[in-house]
A = this chain, B = another copy of it.
């Protein structure tokens, strides 16, 4: 077993000391990652937070495949790149960088991530034992990403594409019964955390009837 610092010591939740409002209001999608490795004790802290999230009937279907081996991440990165472009082909009809509008900043940032993810220091694939519905698994993924933020680690939730799923499962010996949910690349940010741009709550919330305004509308 490699040296892992504090990861094998009992976990202390007090390590996650950031006020919850600060973590939530600065959880920006981080797609530009520094190559510096993430301490295994921090990986454990994020996972300890993840498993605490609620699941239907407390069934705890979520499973976390942690990737920190550079060679495996490099191999996976090639599949991720292929998946990203397959999604763009399906959804927007784009086949290369020249098709992406200059103003599509999120798409351009995501394209860069697709080219760089093979050099990420850490990726967590969030899967589940069946039936593992998303409403019992994504709760855990959000805890994972919030805990990352509290530790100064950036993340962004991403998906894959059917074209590559069989090869991803083969690469990591994932059994066919497992349900894939998210691919979360992680690392210390090259940019900054938050603030984030969101529609006002008054536009996405209703009171007692669909479409009826909340009092602060």
Q: Is the interface of A mostly helix, strand, loop or mixed?
A: mixed
> Which residues of the partner chain B approach A17 to less than 8 Å between Cβ atoms?
19-21
* CA distance in complex: A138, B57 (Å): 16
Copy number of this protein in the oligomer? 2
Interface range for A: 35 or more
Decide: A44 near B201, CB < 8 A? Known: A19-B14, A175-B210: yes
> Which residues of the partner chain B approach A142 to less than 8 Å between Cβ atoms?
53-54, 138-139, 142-143
A86: Cβ under 8 A from any B Cβ? no
Instruction: Evaluate contact between B60 and A199: CB separation under 8 angstroms.
Output: yes
The 8 Å CB contact of A210, one of B24, B27, B173, B216, is B173
Instruction: Evaluate contact between A54 and B156: CB separation under 8 angstroms.
Output: yes
Stretch at the interface among A65-73, A94-102, A112-120: A65-73
Residue of B nearest to A52 (CB): B24
In this complex, the member of A21, A137, A196 whose beta carbon has the largest number of chain B beta carbons within 10 angstroms is: A21
Query: Which A residues are within 8 Å of any B CB, using their own CB?
Result: 1-2, 4, 7-8, 13-25, 27, 29, 40, 43-44, 47-54, 56-58, 60, 62-69, 72, 106-107, 110, 133-139, 141-143, 145-147, 150, 156-157, 159, 172-175, 178, 181-182, 196-199, 201, 204-211, 214-216
